[in-house]
Amino acid sequence: MEPIKQRYSHQRETILQVVQSTLVHPNADSVYKETRKIIPNISLGTVYRNLNQLVESGRILKLKDEAMVRYDGNTGQHDHFRCSKCGKWYDVELIDQSIFKSFAEKHDFRIESFNLELAGTCKSCLDS
Amino acid sequence: MEPIKQRYSHQRETILQVVQSTLVHPNADSVYKETRKIIPNISLGTVYRNLNQLVESGRILKLKDEAMVRYDGNTGQHDHFRCSKCGKWYDVELIDQSIFKSFAEKHDFRIESFNLELAGTCKSCLDS
DNA sequence: AAACATAACAGTAACTATTACTATTTTCTT
DNA sequence: AAGAAAATAGTAATAGTTACTGTTATGTTT
């Protein structure tokens, strides 16, 4: 079976730009709202489909809120801290991914992804 | 304002028992199905309400699947590995929580919870 | 022990995030 | 320029969860 051909799409590139141009870790709906400022009649289904494709092709990352799925334009190695008071996500550097390698070898698992999420209260919420 | 009084409820205790008596990290719906074997006319809303209360009171833990929320009767320190092939969750000991303490102090955050989830393929799925 | 206040309930409707469907348009190759 | 199929807009459907409503169970106070 051949690899699926991916054609150029103005909508997909716009969505990618929207996700990459912010640090707020938007969810699908706010990507939709933001993209509609550029392509007013874009469909919500198109946004979901393209966000999933962008994740599959490794161009963006998927995070998880309480219930909602969120996206991150930064694909570099980092972890996440979420403030439960203001709801903001912080990118943090906490864990060296290499520790998972020895873990996988020890247990005979193959690790494909990992996700470390801390939650709590951030400095600015603690101060105010 | 007074602390909210929590009354005894047969349903809640049964739900707790169901969650504590398994290692499969059930989701709300399967807790519902299992509890109905004991209380046949229990309502799905009652299951959700009580699962949330049990989480709030620290008696069970909340995990996150791709979309579904899952629950864990084991509140001790451990992390999670999920096999993307068979869907099973494994409890693993990977990270010493004390590393978060120094992180919190350094950044002036207050950490209230953390969640480390690894995903990949487990040994038995790799073998078969 | 009877009366009271309200937490918890069962059953159902509503809501939110996401996916599926369909007819049309766009992209790319020949 | 024509043809194949990837992608689209718009809408309907689905899944997980919460909200609502009238009734029942629990615990407290007379």
Domain spans of chain B?
10-72, 79-122
Domain A79-127: give its CATH architecture.
2-Layer Sandwich (3.30)
Nearest to B61 by CA among B78, B46, B49, B44: B78
- B36 vs B112: CA distance, rounded Å: 34
Nearest to B122 by CA among B75, B94, B80: B80
pLDDT for res A4: 53
Tokens of residue A115, six digits: 């996700």
Give the CATH number of domain B79-122.
3.30.1490.190
pLDDT digits 0-9 by tens, B75-121: 567 777 877 677 677 778 877 777 777 777 877 888 766 777 777 88
∠ at Cα B86 (B19, B25), nearest 5°? 10
The values of phi and psi at residue A118, to 5°, are: -100, 145
Nearest to A13 by CA among A60, A45, A71: A60
What is the average pLDDT score of chain A?
79
Using a CB–CB cut-off of 8 Å, the residues of B that contact A are: 64, 67, 69, 81, 84, 92, 94-95, 99-100, 103-104, 107-123, 126
Share of chain B above pLDDT 70, in %: 81
| Of the partner residues B100, B120, B126, the one whose CB lies closest to the CB of residue A118 | B100
Residue A2 has pLDDT above 50, yes or no: no
Give residue for tokens 């009649």. A41
pLDDT for res A1: 42
Greater confidence (B49 vs A125) lies with B49
Q: Is the CB of B5 under 7 A from strand C?
A: yes
| Of the partner residues B99, B110, B114, the one whose CB lies closest to the CB of residue A117 | B114
A-B Cβ pairs (cutoff 8 Å, strict)? 87
Give the CATH number of domain B10-72.
1.10.10.10
User: What is the sign of the dihedral through the CA atoms of A59, A115, A87 and B97?
Assistant: negative
The values of phi and psi at residue A21, to 5°, are: -95, 15
pLDDT for res A36: 96
pLDDT digits 0-9 by tens, A26-51: 889 989 999 999 999 999 999 999 99
